[in-house]
Structure 1
Amino acid sequence: MLGGTFDPVHLGHLRTAVELREVLGLHGVHMIPAAQPPLRDQPQVSPEQRLALLRLGIGDTPGVVADPLELERAGPSYSADTLAVLRRRYGNDACLVMALGHDAFLKLAGWHEPERLFELANLVVVDRPDHGSPLPPALRTLLAGREVESVEALMARPYGRLLRLCLPSRMAISATFVRERLARGGSVRYLLAEAVEAEIQAKGLYLQCDCREG
């Protein structure tokens, strides 16, 4: 599971999904756009539009799917609830993995039912070069006894472990940067998949700058 607002989906998101599948040896990666992200304001583009852009971006990429799971239920898009659905879908023995970025990881102890995340899945943190900075005390407590050092150790159990992982490309693209460029008419070539860029231009999306992080 790779969740997020995908506001809009960019090549960093898509490349992360591909590399996670390869590095972890996953059967597939579900990219799940949040309908109502609980830790930020509602995106200016609707969940349905973001899902449509995500499907265009993924195209025929093997093993990567756009999953509307969080658009199919009411209320905030809590990751624990999403993982519970996936656990029921794939059974108790399936190895489920939830991937998240480093910034989200640092706030993990403040998420909705963070302990429950580990009862349902393994977590993978896509690290960045400064990942050696000290962790908040509450996060250190949450991670106690859960962190492993290898993909093999992570995948040996269906849930309960965490791995911090450096992916090969680590593309430094942010959706905030993309939105800013779109709002002022700047080029987003090679930041977005061509089909995503074409749809945004055709529908006139992101013409107003929402410069909040995300």
Structure 2
Amino acid sequence: MNLPKYKNINKFLKNAVDKLSVSQIEQRLIAINELKELGSKYPEQYDNIILIMTNFIIKERSLNNLKDSDINPISEINSDVQLALNIITNPDIDRYLRRDRFNLSYVDIRGANLCGANLKKVNLRRSILYRANLIDANLENANLTGAVLSAANLKGANLAWASLCGAILNAANLYGTNLTHADLRCANLFLANLQKANLSGANLNGANLREAEFSGNKATPEA
């Protein structure tokens, strides 16, 4: 991409939005990569870039939109949505962003590869992350209230102070996860692997812990 010819950044961003609305996935991938390159050249534009990509993810995978579309509601995400997720959760751009402004609530991103992703303070309320790869992800203070994380791999993830009230974590791998002060009230942890997880100060009031594995925990949860 020849950035100097885009003297008007606003026009460039508008063109990218237009490309993201086309039906050809190849064009959408080009637009996402162009936005990524723009951010590397002009980091002050990251807020605009992330807003565009977040809106794109919501448009493609909003639970409300999927109900009224031809997309199979149980399908995993396409490569363009995965690429957009990789960019907006990249820890290397943290110094340019305020992640507490991110809103990815009510989206279906099942099967997403978010290994090592930074989702600190991100709103993922009632989103579907079924079978998502969240190994070593940073979800500190994230809002995962009512989220579906069944069979998700959260090994080594940081969920300190995260809101997981009413979340579904059936058969989730939480081995070695930091759950200090996490809100797990009424969460469903049936068959979850909580071995060596740090549960210091975690609130498990009303949680379903049937057949969950707990051996080797660093601390006991709050009653």
Q: TM-score range by the shorter chain?
A: under 0.3
Higher RCO (CA-CA < 8 Å; seq separation 6+): 1
Please give the TM-score of this superposition, normalised by the length of structure 2. 0.25
Give the structure with the higher percent helix.
1
Give the TM-score taking structure 1 as reference length.
0.26
- Give the structure with the higher percent strand: 1
